[in-house]
Structure 1
Amino acid sequence: MKVSLFITCLSDAIYPRVGEAMVRLLARYGVQLEFPTVQTCCGQPAFNSGYWDDARKTATTLIEAFEDSDFVIAPSGSCIGMIHHYPKLFEKDPVMLERANRLQAKSYEFTQFLVKVLGVTDVGASFPHKVTYHPSCHGSRLLGVKEEPIALMKQVRGLELVPLPFAEDCCGFGGTFAVKMADISGAMVTEKVDHVLETEAEVLVGLDMACMMNIAGNLRYRDKPVRVMHLAELLYEGVK
C-alpha cells in the first residue's frame, strides 16, 4: 500500500522532528511513507476567513498531490479536519466533489492510523515521566479522536498519565482567532496553562502542533519548566 505523509505547515516549518518521529515509528511496522513534494497548506486559514476561492485552490493542489495514495497521514487533527471540509468547498462541482470525498476517506490523523488501521497500541516505548494530555478541538470533536492517544499512552512503560482538568476546553489558538481576538485567545491559553500546572506534570502531550505551540509559548512566557511534545515524539523517544 502507498502511504503518504502530509506534513502540514507548522510541522514542516517549525517542528520537523514531529514528522521525523512519525516516519521512523511507522517504518518499524513496515510502512514506508511517501512524501509528495507538491503538497501545500490544507487551506484552513483561507477557509475560516471566508476566502473560499483561495481555499479551493490549495485544496485542489492537495487533492492532486495525494491522488494516487492509499492512505494519507498527518500529525494534525486540525489539518485532517480541514480535509473533511473539502466536500463542502466542491459541492457544486461533481468531478472535484468525488475526488474530495476520496481524499477525505483515506486521510487519517497519526494516532487514528496507528490504532485503527495498523491495530497497534503498544509500540514498546518506555517514558518514565509524569504526563498530562491536551485533546485538541478539531481532532477530538471533528474527527472523534479520543481513545486512540490514551490507548497508546497507557502501554508506555513508566508513563504516569495524569488527567488534565477541563481538558476539552480550547487552548485559545484557533488559527486566525488568535490574531483577530488576541486578548480573548491570551486569556484562554493562560487558563489552559493554569490547569496544566495544577497537574504537576513534567510533560504536556498533544496531537496538534498549533495547540502545542500556543501552550508552550505561554509556559515559556511564565518561565514554567513543563516540556511540550507531540505524541509521536514521545513514542519515538521512548523506543530509541
Structure 2
Amino acid sequence: MRVGLFVTCLIDLMRPEIGFSVIKLTEGAGFEVMVPPAQTCCGQPAYNSGERRIARDLAEKTLREFEQFDYVVVPSGSCGGMIRAHYGDLFADDPELMNRFGRLRAKVFELTDFLVNVAKVQLQPGEFAGQVTYHDSCSGLRELGVKAQPRALLAQVGVTVNEMKDCEHCCGFGGTFAVKYGDISTAIVDEKCANIRASGTGAVVLGDLGCMLNIEGRLRRTGDATTRVLHIAQVLAGDV
C-alpha cells in the first residue's frame, strides 16, 4: 500500500534527517512511501492568523496532492491536527470539497498513531541508552489523541520514559503565538525546560518539530548544552 508522507515545512527546511527517519520506519513496516515534491505548508500559520483565503488555498493544494494515497503519514501533531480538525471548517461551504476531504481525513495519521494502529509494528530494541522524558505536543494530544502510542513504541525499542511534571502542558511555541506573545511564550517554555531538567533523564523526546525547536532553542540560550531534544522518529529508527 502507498503512503504519502506529508513531510512538513519545518522538517523540510530545518531537520530533513527526521523525514528520512520517518521513511525508514514506514518502509520498514512494509509500506511504499511517496513524497509529493510540490507539497508546501498545511496552512496552519495562515489559519491561526485569520488569513482564511491563504489557508484554504493551501488546504486545497494539500488535498490535490495527497488524496491519491492509501494513507497519509504526518510526523507532526500540529500539521496532522490542522488537516484532520480544521480543513472541514475551510471547506464547509463547498460540498464537493467536503466530500473529497472526508475521504482524505480518514486516511491521515500522525506518525506514531499510524505505526501503532495501522501498521501494528513490532520494533526491535535499539542501541539508545538511558532514560528519556516525553513532551506531549498540544495538537497531537488534544486534536489527534496521541498519548499512549509514542510511549508504547518507545517501550518496544527498550527506552524507558520517566514522566516529567506537567508533560501535557504547552511548550510555548504555538506557531504564531510565539511571535505575537513573546514574553508569555518565553515564560511557558522556561517552565517546560525546568520540568525537563527536573526529570533527571538528560533527554526529552517529542513528536512535533515546532516544540522541538522551541525547547531546544531555549535550553541552549539559557546555557544548557547537554540536554538532548529528540524527535521520536529518530529514536525509533535508531538515528540518534
For the aligned pair, the TM-score class normalised by the smaller chain equals over 0.9
Q: Judge conservation of contact 1:44–1:55 (CA < 8 Å) in 2.
A: yes
Aligned-partner Cα distance in 2 for 1:110–1:123:
17
How far apart are 1:90 and its partner, in Å?
A: 0.7
- Matched residue SS, 1:108: strand
TM-score (norm 2): 0.96
Cα distance between partner residues in 1 of 2:92 and 2:131: 46
Q: What secondary structure is seen at the aligned counterpart in 2 of 1:33?
A: strand
Partner residue in 2 for 1:162: 162
Match of 1:44 in 2: 44
Do structure 1's residue 198 and structure 2's residue 206 form an aligned pair?
A: no
Q: Is the 8 A contact 1:123 1:235 kept in 2?
A: no
Query: What letter corresponds to residue 36 of structure 1 in structure 2?
Result: P
How many residue pairs were aligned? 238
Q: What displacement does 1:99 show? A: 1.3
Seq. identity, %: 45
Q: CA RMSD in A?
A: 1.3
Larger CA deviation: 121-130 vs 86-95? 121-130
| Secondary structure class of the residue paired with 1:42 | coil
CA distance in 2, matches of 1:69, 1:137: 27
| C-alpha contact 1:38 1:61 (8 A) present in aligned 2 | no
TM-superposed deviation, 1:121: 4.5
What is the TM-score normalised by the length of structure 1?
A: 0.96
Q: What SS does the corresponding residue of 2:33 show, helix, strand or coil? A: coil
1:46-91 residue CA offsets vs partner (Å, 9 max, x unmatched): 1011111110000011000012111000110100100021111011
Supply the AA of the counterpart residue of 2:133. Answer: T
Q: Give the structure 2 partner of residue 153 of structure 1.
A: 154
User: Are residues 1:97 and 2:82 paired?
Assistant: no
For residues 1-240 of structure 1, what are the structure 2 equivalents within 5 Å? 1-84=1-84, 85-157=86-158, 159-224=159-224, 225-237=226-238
Contact 2:132 2:204 (C-alpha < 8 Å) held by counterparts: yes
Q: Which amino acid aligns with 2:184?
A: I
Amino acid of the residue matched to residue 196 of structure 1? I
Please say which of residues 91-100 and 122-131 is displaced more in the overlay.
122-131
- The superposition leaves residues 182-239 of structure 1 with CA deviations (integer Å, 9 ceiling, x where unpaired) of 000000000100000001112110000000100000111122110111001011126x
Q: Do the aligned residues in 2 keep the contact of 1:135 with 1:167 (CA within 8 Å)?
A: yes
Q: Which structure 2 residue ranges, 5 or more long, are not aligned?
A: none
Check conservation: 1:6, 1:73, Cα contact below 8 A.
yes
Aligned 8 A contact 1:121 1:151 in 2: no
Letter in 2 for 1:184: I
Offset of residue 128 of structure 1: 1.4
